[in-house]
Amino acid sequence: MKKPNYLSPEKIQIFIQQALQEDVGDGDHSTLGAIPKNKKGKAQLIIKEKGVIAGLELAKMIFHQYDPELEVELLLEDGQEVQPGDIGLTVSGAAASILTTERLILNCMQRMSGIATKAHQLNQLIQHTDARLMDTRKTTPNFRLMEKWAVWIGGGLNHRFALYDMVMLKDNHIDFAGGIDAAIAQTKSYLSANGLNLKIEVETRSLSEVAQVLEIGGIDYIMLDNMDYATMRKAVAMVAGRYPLEASGGITEENLKEVAECGVDFISVGALTHQVKSLDISLKAF
């Protein structure tokens, strides 16, 4: 499956550079003080918990960006289901380089694997429907790239990456603009004036708002926000396939299946990235 467009090598390289600067600063003095420069070593990434592994490709990139002479062998693939005791990769070369990059790699992989695991688990609950699981912008500042990558590895879809790549007219936009009609009209005028070709999604809070959007038209997606099952099913019938429908708001693991069975096309779950337990992984010398 083709990687999302936001995963450019340049953006990943910038992330790694900034993360290393944050962690290493003017030097890893523990390692510089204790480890001789010519000391060689080997380490392996040990999976300590059942789940879906994510971030192996990133780990290899971190190792090589910090020290191109490190030899990294990936023994598993991102997206693979793992068990305690599985070995994800081995790395050999300068012991100091392995020690300095260890925590950054574990921090990234543990969180990414937790997210991929949750995405996989939730996808299993709705696989009997046509609904697709999506993430949101409820991400960790400066780590969104990796969190959305992890959702994708776990089988979920990425919603818009940020504010600049899609228009989403939510309740506050609509209220401040003076209503759905005004919000859509003003947005379309703005996009035209600025030569922007962006998809437009409109959040609706009731069947009357769904009806308004259908009457106005000219948009790309309709969001059904915090609707109960009966209202959601009525909205699906009203729209009748004219626009893709996204269910959002109050989606949990307990009600996900029922929401999917209402007939929506997408279900966005903020908890995919903001309420996830990291997977237990370690890097040990051998």
What was the pLDDT predicted at 240?
A: 97
Domain match, 130 and 264 both:
yes
Helices 9-24, 95-126: inter-axial angle, 10-degree rounding: 120
Domain match, 73 and 19 both:
yes
What was the pLDDT predicted at 2?
A: 72
263-285 residue pLDDT tens: 999 999 999 999 999 999 999 99
β pairing state of 245-248 and 266-268 = parallel
What distances in angstroms separate CA 258 from CA 61, 109, 205, 241, one per listed residue? 40, 32, 19, 19
The one catalytic residue among 103, 242, 277, 284: 103
Residue 109 lies in a domain: yes
Main-chain dihedrals φ then ψ at residue 138, nearest 5 degrees:
-80, 75
Domain match, 180 and 269 both:
yes
**Length of the chain, please?**
286
Domain match, 35 and 142 both:
no
Domain match, 176 and 102 both:
no
**CATH number of the domain within which 71 lies:** 3.90.1170.20
Max alpha carbon distance in the chain (Å)?
72
> Is the CB of residue 15 less than 8 Å from the CB of residue 71?
no
- Picking from 120, 125, 115, 117, the residue whose alpha carbon sits closest to that of residue 254 is 125
The one catalytic residue among 48, 60, 160, 170: 170
Residue 142 lies in a domain: yes
What was the pLDDT predicted at 142?
A: 95
Residue 1 lies in a domain: no
> Virtual CA dihedral for 271, 86, 104, 78, nearest 10 degrees?
-60
Domain match, 148 and 31 both:
no
Residue 196, helix vs strand vs coil: coil
Domain match, 79 and 180 both:
no
Residue 152, helix vs strand vs coil: helix
User: Using CB atoms within 10 A of its CB, is residue 3 exposed (0-12), middle (13-18) or buried (19+)?
Assistant: exposed
For the chain, which ranges sit under pLDDT 70?
1
The one catalytic residue among 203, 209, 246, 265: 203
Residue 54 lies in a domain: yes
Round to whole Å and give the CA distance between 134 and 159: 6
What was the pLDDT predicted at 5?
A: 83
Residue 217 lies in a domain: yes
Provide the number of structural domains found in the chain: 2
| 203 is an active site residue | yes
β pairing state of 281-285 and 167-169 = unpaired
pTM for the predicted model, two decimal places = 0.95
Domain match, 255 and 225 both:
yes
Domain match, 252 and 148 both:
yes
What was the pLDDT predicted at 164?
A: 96
Q: List helix spans (H) across 25-134.
A: 29-34, 56-66, 95-126
The one catalytic residue among 48, 60, 137, 138: 138
Domain match, 193 and 54 both:
no
> Is the CB of residue 246 less than 8 Å from the CB of residue 266?
yes
The one catalytic residue among 78, 102, 135, 225: 225
Domain match, 135 and 262 both:
yes
**CATH number of the domain within which 239 lies:** 3.20.20.70
> Is the CB of residue 285 less than 8 Å from the CB of residue 91?
no
| 225 is an active site residue | yes
Residue numbers of the domain that contains 40? 9-123+277-285
Round to whole Å and give the CA distance between 140 and 155: 20
Domain match, 129 and 261 both:
yes
The angle at the Cα of 186, spanning 144 to 174, to the nearest 5 degrees, equals: 65
